């Protein structure tokens, strides 16, 4: 639900210098929308000299929460009523929460990364962790590693003194001796066991996306899990090297997501669900990577994706592609045989690979997708990156009428295909809705009419209607 700005609208914001590239408004305004809050979140460009008056002024203007970003995360602490203990230890505040006489400062970067790791099933307990970099972000990561009970934490930095300062302050704060500082050149003397590595330097950011802090392939042999705090590009060279050596790699987008969600929870005293978090993540992803100029047709088998795709090709000059046909051509066998000989999960892997390839290669195409394609969470993001996603709806009766004599649908080769259609439709319908930019009802409509509706509404994908359950419907 969207609100008009009125006399009750509350104000949230972020201060930084520069601020133009911030993604925080995407996070918070999406949450405002999903949760139906009459609230707006805006960026404020605040210079160092104006920091004090900006924070005091925001309080007087009744701004009820603020984020703080580079370069003010440390200096802002002097202007606050109170600073949370964790933020004090990290020496940086990124969230201001209103209290009676001023703002209280928190650091949600640390907990944001913690929540991101948990959501990916990564535990640091008793693990050897390596931190590359010793800037502002590395300190929050260092805190989190010790709090999560890592066995040993090695912090490697170009400037050794900065790494030493973080190690000393963390060991002192936690009354332990878990952290040790080293230069980058000393990486060869790290203990030879599997590591979890956090890439906390700014190397790899655009325009130097090929840069990486350690290029030696030997280093990556020990990296079981590599987390790059950078989120744009989606795969950094560091991540590529981790994967090439057989490790798992993650970027920093989830950290960004959860630091925002935690701030939002602090301001609003709400709990954001995992499903809501996923919607925000999808919106962030789309903002970063855009949406291609293709039309993507999704929906249950028999909903008419091929017929309507061909119609869009005929009427509007799109090139028609079909993901199932693409896979069949690649493997030289039918989808039924792939299911039979290689299993469904192998087929789903292929679908993801095909989407990734099409994102790189397809332009001005209409793409008919397999009915189960959006069931993989990762595929929803890829589908929306590929193009404007149109869900073609069909009823159980409609599917039955169209497919009852068909023999090339492996999922319907069972004793009671009608019941199977019902079950699958119930399972898939909410996922199709979530994946779609637009929903088009197909029954009792001619293909020309449906193609025209899709074509006429193809540019609405950036509209806000597309993110909640209230999709644009035709
Ligand atoms: P910072 O304080 O400026 O620290 C930069 C770090 O990178 C320092 O350790 C610096 O080493 C190192 N570095 C820079 N250029 C280098 C080079 N040519 N060779 C070797 N090391 C180099 O930055 P930060 O605030 O910690 O941010 C670090 C990264 O984390 C950024 O890419 C930022 O975008 C990302 N980040 C992501 C999130 C998220 O939510 N995902 C949150 C915060 C930060 P020296 O100390 O020797 O200069």
Could you tell me the domains of the chain? Answer: 10-107 (3.40.50.10860), 111-251 (3.40.50.720), 291-456 (3.40.50.300)
Helix (H) or strand (E) holding 447: helix 447-456
Helix (H) or strand (E) holding 396: helix 396-403
Distance (angstroms) between ligand 1 centre and the Cα of 136 equals: 7
Q: What's the rounded Cα separation, in Å, for the pair 207 and 202?
A: 11
Q: Mutation test of ligand 1: which of 67, 119, 133 has the most ligand atoms closer than 8 Å to its C-beta?
A: 133
Phi, psi of 233 (to 5 degrees): -70, 160
Catalytic positions are 73
Q: In DSSP terms, which residues pair with 365 in a beta bridge?
A: 319
Which residue's CA is the closest to the ligand 1 atom numbered 20?
158
Cis bond before residue 227 (omega within 30° of 0): no
The pLDDT tens digits along the chain (474 residues) read: 567 899 999 999 999 999 999 999 999 999 999 999 999 999 999 999 999 999 999 999 999 999 999 999 999 999 999 999 999 999 999 999 999 999 999 999 999 999 999 999 999 999 999 999 999 999 999 999 999 999 999 999 999 999 999 999 999 999 999 999 999 999 999 999 999 999 999 999 888 888 999 999 999 999 999 999 999 888 899 999 999 999 999 999 999 999 999 999 999 999 999 989 999 998 999 888 888 889 999 999 889 999 999 999 999 989 999 999 999 998 899 988 998 899 988 999 999 999 999 998 898 999 999 999 999 988 999 999 999 999 999 998 888 888 777 766 766 677 777 888 899 999 999 999 999 999 999 988 999 999 999 999 886 443 333 333 345 566
Phi, psi of 47 (to 5 degrees): -85, 160
Angle at 267 between CA 119 and CA 114, to 5 degrees: 25
Q: What's the rounded Cα separation, in Å, for the pair 465 and 453?
A: 17
Which residue's CA is the closest to the ligand 1 atom numbered 29?
202
Q: Residue 468 carries which DSSP code?
A: S
Helix (H) or strand (E) holding 97: strand 95-98
Asked whether 201 lines ligand 1 (CB < 6 A), one says yes
Q: Mutation test of ligand 1: which of 202, 237, 250, 254 has the most ligand atoms closer than 8 Å to its C-beta?
A: 202
Q: Mutation test of ligand 1: which of 158, 181, 228, 253 has the most ligand atoms closer than 8 Å to its C-beta?
A: 158
Distance (angstroms) between ligand 1 centre and the Cα of 14 equals: 20
Of all atoms in ligand 1, which is nearest to the CA of residue 231?
A: 41
Asked whether 158 lines ligand 1 (CB < 6 A), one says yes
> How many Cβ atoms are within 10 Å of 474's Cβ, its own excluded?
14
Phi, psi of 463 (to 5 degrees): -70, 155
Q: What's the rounded Cα separation, in Å, for the pair 320 and 111?
A: 46
Contacts for 19 with CB less than 8 Å, ≥ 6 apart: 43, 44, 45, 46, 69
The pTM of this model reads 0.81
Q: What's the rounded Cα separation, in Å, for the pair 249 and 409?
A: 36
3-state helix, strand, coil in the chain (%, to 5): 50, 20, 35
User: Taking the C-alpha atoms of 302, 308, 314 and 320 in order, what is their torsion angle to the nearest 10 degrees?
Assistant: -70
Phi, psi of 367 (to 5 degrees): -120, 115
Distance (angstroms) between ligand 1 centre and the Cα of 253 equals: 15
Asked whether 133 lines ligand 1 (CB < 6 A), one says yes
- Tell me if 212 sits within 8 A of 230, measured CB to CB: no
């Amino acid at each position: 639900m969207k609100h008009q700005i009125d006399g009750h609208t509350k104000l949230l914001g972020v201060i930084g210098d520069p601020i133009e590239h911030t993604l925080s408004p995407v996070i918070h305004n999406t949450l405002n929308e999903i949760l139906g809050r009459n609230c707006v979140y805006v960026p404020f460009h605040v210079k160092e000299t104006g920091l004090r008056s900006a924070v005091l002024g925001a309080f007087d203007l009744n701004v009820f929460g603020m984020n703080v970003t580079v370069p003010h995360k440390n200096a802002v602490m002097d202007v606050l009523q109170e600073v949370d203990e964790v933020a004090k230890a990290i020496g940086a505040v990124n969230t201001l929460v209103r209290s009676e006489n001023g703002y209280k400062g928190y650091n949600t970067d640390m907990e944001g990364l913690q929540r991101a790791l948990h959501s990916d099933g990564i535990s640091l307990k008793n693990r050897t962790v390596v931190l590359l970099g010793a800037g502002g972000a590395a300190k929050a990561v260092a805190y989190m590693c010790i709090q999560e009970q890592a066995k040993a934490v090695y912090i490697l930095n170009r400037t050794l003194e900065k790494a030493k300062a973080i190690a000393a302050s963390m060991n002192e704060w936690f009354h332990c001796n878990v952290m040790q500082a080293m230069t980058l050149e000393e990486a060869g003397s790290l203990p030879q066991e599997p590591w979890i590595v956090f890439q906390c330097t700014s190397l790899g950011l655009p325009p130097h996306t090929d840069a990486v802090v350690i290029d030696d392939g030997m280093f990556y042999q020990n990296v079981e899990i590599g987390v790059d705090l950078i989120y744009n590009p989606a795969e950094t060279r560091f991540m590529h090297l981790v994967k090439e050596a057989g490790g798992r790699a993650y970027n920093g987008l989830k950290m960004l997501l959860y630091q925002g969600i935690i701030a939002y929870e602090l301001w609003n005293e709400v709990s954001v669900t995992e499903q809501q978090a996923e919607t925000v993540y999808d919106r962030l992803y789309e903002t970063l990577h855009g949406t291609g100029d293709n039309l993507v047709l999704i929906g249950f088998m028999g909903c008419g994706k091929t017929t309507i795709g061909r119609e869009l090709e005929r009427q509007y000059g799109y090139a028609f592609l079909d993901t199932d046909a693409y896979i069949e051509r690649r493997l030289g066998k039918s989808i039924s045989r792939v299911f039979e000989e290689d299993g469904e999960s192998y087929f789903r892997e292929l679908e993801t690979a095909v989407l990734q390839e099409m994102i790189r290669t397809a332009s001005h195409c209409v793409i008919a997708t397999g009915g189960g394609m959006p069931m993989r969470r990762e595929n929803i993001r890829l589908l929306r990156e590929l193009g404007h996603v149109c869900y073609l709806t069909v009823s159980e009766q409609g599917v039955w009428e169209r497919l009852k004599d068909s023999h090339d649908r492996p999922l319907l080769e069972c004793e009671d295909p009608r019941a199977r259609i019902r079950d699958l439709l119930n399972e898939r319908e909410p996922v199709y809705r979530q994946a779609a930019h637009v929903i088009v009802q197909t029954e009792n409509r001619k293909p020309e009419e449906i193609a025209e509706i899709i074509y006429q509404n193809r540019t609405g994908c950036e509209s806000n209607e597309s993110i909640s359950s209230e999709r644009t419907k035709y």
